[in-house]
Amino acid sequence: MFHSIYPYKKRCLLYNQGLMPYLDAHAWQRSLLTDRIHDPSLDDVLILLEHPPVYTLGQGSNSDFLKFDIDKGQYDVHRVERGGEVTYHCPGQLVGYPILNLQRYRKDLHWYLRELEEVIIRVLAVYGLQGERIPAFTGVWLQGRKVAAIGIKVSRWITMHGFALNVCPDMTGFERIVPCGISDKAVGSLAEWIPDITCEEVRFYVAQSFSEVFGVELVESQPKEFFHSE
């Protein structure tokens, strides 16, 4: 549990998971969101995990940003309801899925996106790295390389999807797409600056930063058995 000298008013369940198939995590998010639409008093949730290699397309994203034939089935590709263009998930990339009731915070999606960026920027600062925002784009950059992608979906002010921070992934998967539809800006990972960095250590700082930025007390929890990764 993450404690602070500040009296938190909100509780947020923290699910620290390992490697989980994308569709399992997606179904879990949808279940949590549906539960909270029906009962808005339920606690907020932050899921931290990694995915096996997978490509995802946002709801209105352009499949031209894939550099391979989507019908050949060589790679797992899923179109989901988040905003944003195509992205890539794989081990070594830490993914965060906040399921938050924004009525407890601010009913402002731009504010929420900036706060998610702030979480990542504070994590980078722990390592002495200066994360940057680029106007007109969502995400976090480090010396001109995009290290964190963000894409969300909000239903009745309940959030799902979230952020993906490249910690120490195999970056070759990004070569098969135009990441986030941005062709003139490279992607990067923290391992380029900190060669021995691991997702395990970064998890702690992401959780700590999330707790500070959103003013919540994180309560480490275990999900239903169905959603335990192998």
- Active site members: 180
Q: What is d(CA 223, CA 97) in angstroms, rounded to the nearest whole number?
A: 14
Q: What is d(CA 212, CA 209) in angstroms, rounded to the nearest whole number?
A: 5
Q: What is d(CA 125, CA 217) in angstroms, rounded to the nearest whole number?
A: 21
Q: What is d(CA 89, CA 166) in angstroms, rounded to the nearest whole number?
A: 9
State the SS3 of 81-127.
CCCCCCEEECCCEEEEEEECEHHHCCCCHHHHHHHHHHHHHHHHHHC
Query: What radius of gyration, in Å, describes the C-alpha atoms of the chain?
Result: 17
